């Protein structure tokens, strides 16, 4: 027997279709739930009929959609999968090195099984956490995943629920944690039938995607329960180690307990029950430390948040294009990068010209491990007209400097798949909307979006299969020329970080930063390590301090001569001292 249950307070009557049977459900309870027990089995197909509508709709909480988001749902039993990770407790989040990846383009197969083949490579690279772009069911066979509509089901083209479980099980066997990107701020435009059943959305609030998710209006208890249950499902039933919550600034919630607080509290309870520690990461552009403060300090209890200010301040130093101003117009000086490294937020209450208002709040007494740093991610690459990665735009020397700063800073570093070997593959925006009108609208919208930047009609069509295929990583190049050079550099940085206690220290008070906005110099002092960066156009002579040796260099062939080293333009070196007296050191440098 299986007990069907669906929240449908809008309905006057409900029926469930199981196989060739259509059965009336019992009247809704006080909160709007309809139920019925039916003799059926795992694998049976079912759907719901609302009032006199003869169209069968998939279950909003369906665990599997084998025929896509418009088809009937399938009964799925989580308990039938055989796990092999009973002793797994997860990698420490304070020492995390995150690797963001998109299942559809990470391997040639574009599946969980294809990704499993590369897990040995990822373990050898030295990363600790794999962050998957959303894998819940979305319309079509290809997409970024942020247009998901069946949030409890796993994308069938990737391998479905068992495919995801096999991937997680295999990752744990290699010592790799898995973080799931989840989208709770909107539903995709194609295949969302939740509003047929209940007020999942509200027109009381608006977001960039239209009506907001109903987090504080009538019926919001059940909407919040829907998303919280989804979060707990990934952690409990799929053994996922953490969640990255997309664009939490788009949550509009005037409740006494904010939705993020509820999520963090329920995840904490689950972790205590299972004996595991989960990692919650928020994407937020609010620059508000409340997001990552503990609930005991009147915060929302997220463990970390993405740090856009760091990315923008670094990127604008390395690449200037006046046609791409936008939010980049607020950045561009070495002083911005200096502040992002020392204080996390560049805008912590100061005036933002882009926003035309004051923005942010200072970070106080929080570890650097509450912030995730990156020099590129799926948004910053894929939202460009041609999906160029950072090495495509600024060249190898500057790309080495960028990833060096990311991995040597005290914050949690995140790499975007393929950047570790400077892949030649772009990461484009692609989609497979099954509705023809939507396909045309997306293609035209993308073209118009970049017309003002002089790209005309050359922007790749997101709906073309070639756009998706062009975005797949090119593994065959990994051992060739500059790609092998970048991979060796990245692995050396990761190895140094993971083997050095001070490089995993999140205490921002023990980080010393010096910079020169004219000559584009930057220094980070991290106990026995001194990271020196020359982003200028001229070489500099740098004097090594007593007991200091060259540990790493982004340029080959650098040598120490009588205690001095010439640091070429656009280069980064890491110096390591054998002495403990580091607090009183002074930088000695002069033009070469």
The residue annotated as part of the active site, out of 169, 253, 261, 283, is 283
What percent of the chain has pLDDT above 70?
A: 96
Structure tokens that stand for 465 in this block: 């299969």
Q: Where are the beta strands (DSSP E) in 66-113?
A: 73-74, 98-101
- Asked if residue 431 is part of any domain, the answer here is yes
| Cα–Cα dist 149/192, whole Å | 5
What is the CATH classification number for the domain harbouring 140? 3.20.20.80
pLDDT band at 324 (very low <50, low <70, confident <90, very high): confident
Q: What is the CA radius of gyration of the chain?
A: 25
- Of 212, 284, 274, nearest to 241 by C-alpha is 274
Structure tokens that stand for 279 in this block: 């990692």
Q: Where are the beta strands (DSSP E) in 39-171?
A: 45-50, 73-74, 98-101, 129-132, 136-138, 148-154
| Cα–Cα dist 446/441, whole Å | 8
- Asked if residue 69 is part of any domain, the answer here is no
| Cα–Cα dist 58/73, whole Å | 5
Structure tokens that stand for 169 in this block: 């099980």
Please, which residues bridge with residue 523 across strands?
514, 532
| Cα–Cα dist 258/252, whole Å | 9
DSSP string, 456-506: TT-SPPTTSHHHHHHTS--GGGTTSHHHHHHHHHHHHHHHHHHH-SGGG--
Q: Helices 220-237 and 259-274: crossing angle, nearest 10°?
A: 30
Sort strands 564-567 and 589-591 into parallel, antiparallel or unpaired.
unpaired
| Cα–Cα dist 529/407, whole Å | 13
Least confident of 108-117, 415-424, 550-559: 550-559
- Residues 6 or more apart whose CB falls under 8 angstroms from that of 114 comprise 106, 107, 108
E strand or H helix at 448, and its extent? Answer: helix 436-451
pLDDT band at 27 (very low <50, low <70, confident <90, very high): confident
Are 551 and 466 in a shared domain?
no
- Whether the predicted pLDDT of 357 surpasses 60: yes
As a whole number, mean pLDDT of residues 306-323 equals 92
Last residue of a domain, one of 57, 78, 104: 57
- Go through 361-382 and write b for each residue having 16 or more CB atoms within 10 A of its CB, e for each that does not: eebeebbbbbbbbbbbbbbbbb
Is residue 6 classed as helix, strand or coil in its secondary structure? strand
As a whole number, mean pLDDT of residues 419-443 equals 90
- Asked if residue 207 is part of any domain, the answer here is yes
- Asked if residue 505 is part of any domain, the answer here is no
E strand or H helix at 532, and its extent? Answer: strand 529-534
Query: What's the number of CA atoms in the CB half-sphere (13 Å) around residue 7?
Result: 18
Last residue of a domain, one of 475, 499, 523: 499
- Residues 6 or more apart whose CB falls under 8 angstroms from that of 415 comprise 97, 98, 99, 100, 127, 374, 403, 406, 490
**How do residues 256-313 score in pLDDT, each as one tens digit?**
999 999 999 999 999 999 999 999 999 999 999 999 999 999 999 999 999 999 999 9
**How do residues 52-97 score in pLDDT, each as one tens digit?**
999 999 999 999 999 999 999 999 999 999 999 999 999 999 999 9
Are 471 and 586 in a shared domain?
no
pLDDT band at 436 (very low <50, low <70, confident <90, very high): confident
Contact (CB, 8 A) for 57 and 49: yes
**The length of the chain, given as a count of residues:** 592
- Whether the predicted pLDDT of 113 surpasses 70: yes
Phi, psi of 541 (to 5 degrees): -85, 130
As a whole number, mean pLDDT of residues 319-335 equals 87
As a whole number, mean pLDDT of residues 319-343 equals 91
Q: Helices 334-343 and 308-318: crossing angle, nearest 10°?
A: 150
- Whether the predicted pLDDT of 447 surpasses 80: no
Are 490 and 522 in a shared domain?
no
Sort strands 571-577 and 210-213 into parallel, antiparallel or unpaired.
unpaired
Tell me the CA end-to-end span of the chain in Å, nearest whole number.
80
pLDDT band at 326 (very low <50, low <70, confident <90, very high): confident
Structure tokens that stand for 208 in this block: 């960039």
**How do residues 544-587 score in pLDDT, each as one tens digit?**
998 999 999 999 989 888 899 999 999 999 999 987 555 555 55
Are 494 and 526 in a shared domain?
no
- Asked if residue 52 is part of any domain, the answer here is yes
| Cα–Cα dist 317/62, whole Å | 47
- Whether the predicted pLDDT of 98 surpasses 90: yes
Domain count, the chain: 3
- Asked if residue 64 is part of any domain, the answer here is no
Count the neighbouring beta carbons within 10 Å of the beta carbon of residue 228: 17
Are 38 and 100 in a shared domain?
no
Are 254 and 230 in a shared domain?
yes
Is residue 58 classed as helix, strand or coil in its secondary structure? coil
Are 417 and 469 in a shared domain?
yes
Are 484 and 544 in a shared domain?
no
Q: What is the pLDDT of residue 323?
A: 67
Q: What is the pLDDT of residue 451?
A: 66
The residue annotated as part of the active site, out of 100, 147, 169, 246, is 246
SS3 content of the chain, % helix, strand, coil (to 5): 35, 20, 45
As a whole number, mean pLDDT of residues 492-520 equals 96
For 572, the domain range is 513-591
Are 323 and 223 in a shared domain?
yes
How much is the mean pLDDT over the chain? 94
- Residues 6 or more apart whose CB falls under 8 angstroms from that of 538 comprise 519, 569, 591, 592
Are 188 and 270 in a shared domain?
yes
What percent of the chain has pLDDT above 90?
A: 89
- Whether the predicted pLDDT of 502 surpasses 80: yes
Instruction: Give me the helices (H) in 303-372, please.
Output: 308-318, 334-343
pLDDT band at 180 (very low <50, low <70, confident <90, very high): very high
What is the CATH classification number for the domain harbouring 47? 2.60.40.10
- Whether the predicted pLDDT of 592 surpasses 80: no
As a whole number, mean pLDDT of residues 370-396 equals 96
- Residues 6 or more apart whose CB falls under 8 angstroms from that of 93 comprise 129, 242, 277, 279, 303, 304, 369, 412
Rounded to two decimals, the pTM is: 0.96
- Asked if residue 230 is part of any domain, the answer here is yes
What is the CATH classification number for the domain harbouring 564? 2.60.40.1180
Are 118 and 209 in a shared domain?
yes
Instruction: Give me the helices (H) in 75-188, please.
Output: 103-106, 112-116, 119-125, 160-173
pLDDT band at 452 (very low <50, low <70, confident <90, very high): low
- Asked if residue 550 is part of any domain, the answer here is yes
Last residue of a domain, one of 436, 467, 499: 499
Q: Is 246 a catalytic residue?
A: yes
Max Cα-Cα span within the chain: 88
Q: What is the pLDDT of residue 457?
A: 66
DSSP string, 243-273: EEETTGGG----SSS-HHHHHHHHHHHHHHH
Are 479 and 575 in a shared domain?
no
């Amino acid at each position: 027997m299986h007990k069907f249950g669906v929240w449908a307070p809008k309905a006057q009557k409900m029926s469930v279709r199981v196989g060739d049977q259509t059965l009336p459900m019992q009247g809704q309870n006080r909160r709007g739930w309809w139920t019925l027990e039916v003799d059926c089995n795992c694998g049976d197909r079912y759907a719901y009929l609302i009032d006199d509508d003869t169209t069968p709709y998939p279950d909003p909480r369906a665990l599997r959609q084998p025929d896509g988001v418009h088809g009937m749902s399938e009964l799925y039993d989580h308990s039938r999968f055989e796990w092999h990770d009973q002793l797994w407790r997860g990698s420490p989040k304070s020492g995390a090195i995150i690797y963001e990846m998109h299942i559809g383009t990470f391997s040639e197969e574009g599946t969980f099984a294809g990704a499993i083949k590369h897990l040995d490579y990822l373990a050898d690279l030295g990363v600790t956490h794999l962050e998957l772009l959303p894998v819940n069911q979305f319309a079509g066979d290809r997409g970024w995943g942020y247009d998901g509509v069946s949030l409890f089901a796993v994308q069938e083209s990737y391998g479905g629920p068992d495919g995801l479980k096999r991937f997680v099980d295999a990752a744990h066997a290699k010592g790799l944690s898995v973080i799931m990107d989840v989208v709770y701020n909107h539903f995709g435009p194609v295949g969302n039938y939740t509003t047929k059943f209940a007020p999942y959305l509200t027109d009381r609030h608006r977001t960039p995607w239209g009506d907001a998710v109903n987090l504080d209006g009538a019926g919001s208890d059940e909407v919040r329960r829907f998303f919280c249950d989804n979060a707990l499902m990934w952690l409990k039933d799929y053994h996922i180690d953490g969640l990255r919550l997309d664009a939490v600034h788009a949550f509009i919630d005037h409740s006494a307990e904010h939705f993020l607080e509820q999520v963090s509290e329920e995840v904490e309870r689950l972790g205590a029950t299972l004996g595991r520690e989960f990692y919650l990461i928020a994407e937020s552009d609010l620059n508000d430390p409340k997001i990552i403060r503990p609930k005991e300090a009147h915060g929302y209890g997220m463990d970390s948040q993405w740090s856009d200010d760091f990315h923008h301040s670094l990127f604008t130093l390395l690449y200037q294009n006046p046609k791409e101003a936008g939010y980049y117009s607020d950045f561009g000086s070495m002083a911005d990068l200096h502040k992002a490294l020392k204080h996390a937020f560049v805008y912590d209450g100061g005036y933002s010209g882009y926003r035309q208002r004051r923005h942010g709040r200072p970070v106080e007494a929080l570890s650097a491990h509450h912030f995730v740093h990156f020099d590129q991610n799926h948004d910053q690459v894929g939202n460009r007209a041609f999906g160029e990665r950072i090495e495509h735009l600024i060249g190898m020397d500057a790309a080495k400097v960028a990833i060096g700063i990311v991995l040597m800073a005290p914050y949690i570093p995140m790499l975007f798949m393929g950047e570790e070997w400077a892949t030649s593959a772009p990461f484009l925006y692609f989609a497979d909307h099954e509705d023809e009108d939507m396909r045309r609208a997306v293609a035209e919208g993308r073209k118009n979006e970049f017309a003002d930047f002089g790209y005309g009609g050359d922007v790749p069509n997101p709906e073309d299969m070639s756009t998706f295929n062009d975005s797949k990583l090119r593994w065959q190049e990994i051992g060739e020329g500059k790609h092998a050079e970048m991979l060796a550099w990245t692995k050396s940085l990761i190895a140094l970080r993971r083997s050095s206690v001070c490089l995993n220290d999140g205490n921002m008070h023990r980080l010393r930063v010096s910079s020169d906005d004219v000559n584009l110099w930057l220094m980070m002092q991290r106990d026995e390590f001194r990271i020196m960066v020359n982003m200028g156009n001229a070489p500099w002579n740098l004097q090594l301090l007593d007991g200091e040796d060259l540990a790493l260099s982004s340029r080959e062939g650098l040598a120490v001569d009588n205690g001095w080293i010439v640091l070429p333009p656009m280069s980064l070196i890491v110096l390591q001292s054998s002495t403990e007296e580091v607090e009183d050191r002074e930088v000695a440098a002069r033009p070469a």
